């Protein structure tokens, strides 16, 4: 019950933040010891203003048993339907607590983003949590973002993301995702799975369809990702 009340407080707090929000991955607070990973993500949002298609390609390398650093190249499709480089990102995740040691697992997320064609920047700091209830898991991300540069207004923004999923089998785990930001609330079904191989090699997949509840006649986002860890 306390967790539910906490989520409602967060929704009320962050519903007045973040005017440039993109539905994306809900991060878990975990890092494999000395892992390396390749990841591809796609998000396609369609609303009354058109369609925004973005792809992310990344490589990550764990600096220790608890910290991983990732670099991203972000591509987007412009108004002429041409796909090109949009931005660069640097991301650091830190697994703060050992898995299962406390009432919930905790981690932090730090990101720095630079636009490709303009001198615009964004920095993000977030808290990641995951709590298990039998075969169910609740994952939350609470983030604070600061933007500055030549074409954007210097401002603080907030984001809240949550995923509640059923760990049916490792390869197939259905759930529901929630995204909250200024002028945006989105919710919808999501699926994820993990296929494990020898040693710590594993392939993760995710798929979600998020409907915006903002009053627009059409606002939905399709998101998917593949991540290979080794």
Other beta carbons less than 10 A from residue 184's beta carbon:
22
Per-residue model confidence (pLDDT) at position 45: 93
CA distance 73 to 191: 25
DSSP string, 92-151: EEEE-S-TTSSSSEEEEEEEEEEESSSSEEEEEEEEEEEEEETTEEEEEEEEEEEEEESS
Q: With cut-offs at 50, 70 and 90, classify the pLDDT of residue 90.
A: very high
Kindly state the percentage of the chain with pLDDT values over 90.
79
Q: Which CATH architecture has domain 2-229?
A: Beta Barrel (2.40)
Is the pLDDT reported for residue 12 higher than 50?
A: no
Q: Which of 154-163, 197-206, 213-222 has the lowest average pLDDT?
A: 213-222
Q: Are 40 and 210 in contact (CB under 8 A)?
A: no
pTM of the model: 0.89
Q: With cut-offs at 50, 70 and 90, classify the pLDDT of residue 79.
A: low
Question: Across residues 86-111, what is the average pLDDT?
Answer: 97
Question: Across residues 103-113, what is the average pLDDT?
Answer: 98
Q: Which of 5-9, 63-67, 149-153, 202-206 has the lowest average pLDDT?
A: 5-9
Q: Are 118 and 125 in contact (CB under 8 A)?
A: no
pLDDT of 204-216, one tens digit each? 999 999 999 976 6
- Please return the burial class of 199, using the count of CB atoms within 10 Å of its CB with bins 0-12, 13-18 and 19+: exposed
Is the pLDDT reported for residue 9 higher than 80?
A: no
Per-residue model confidence (pLDDT) at position 216: 63
Per-residue model confidence (pLDDT) at position 95: 98
């Amino acid at each position: 019950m306390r967790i539910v009340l906490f989520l409602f407080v967060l929704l009320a707090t962050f519903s007045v933040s973040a005017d440039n929000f993109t539905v994306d991955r809900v991060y878990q607070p975990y890092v494999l010891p000395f892992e390396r990973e390749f990841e591809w993500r796609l998000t396609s949002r369609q609303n009354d203003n058109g369609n925004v298609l973005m792809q992310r390609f990344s490589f990550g390398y764990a600096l220790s048993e608890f910290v991983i650093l990732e670099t991203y190249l972000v591509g987007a499709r412009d108004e002429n339907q041409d796909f090109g480089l949009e931005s660069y990102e640097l991301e650091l995740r830190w697994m703060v607590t050992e898995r299962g040691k406390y009432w919930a697992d905790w981690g932090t997320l730090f990101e720095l983003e630079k636009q490709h064609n303009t001198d615009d920047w964004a920095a993000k700091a977030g808290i990641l949590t995951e709590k298990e209830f039998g075969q169910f898991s609740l994952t939350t991300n609470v983030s604070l973002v600061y933007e500055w540069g030549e074409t954007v207004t210097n401002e603080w923004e907030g984001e809240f993301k949550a995923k509640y999923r059923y760990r049916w089998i490792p390869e197939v785990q259905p759930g529901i995702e929630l995204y909250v930001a200024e002028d945006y609330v989105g919710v919808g079904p999501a699926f994820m799975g993990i296929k494990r191989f020898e040693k710590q090699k594993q392939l993760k997949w995710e798929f979600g369809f998020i409907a915006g509840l903002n009053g627009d006649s059409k606002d939905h986002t399709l998101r998917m990702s593949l991540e290979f860890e080794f």
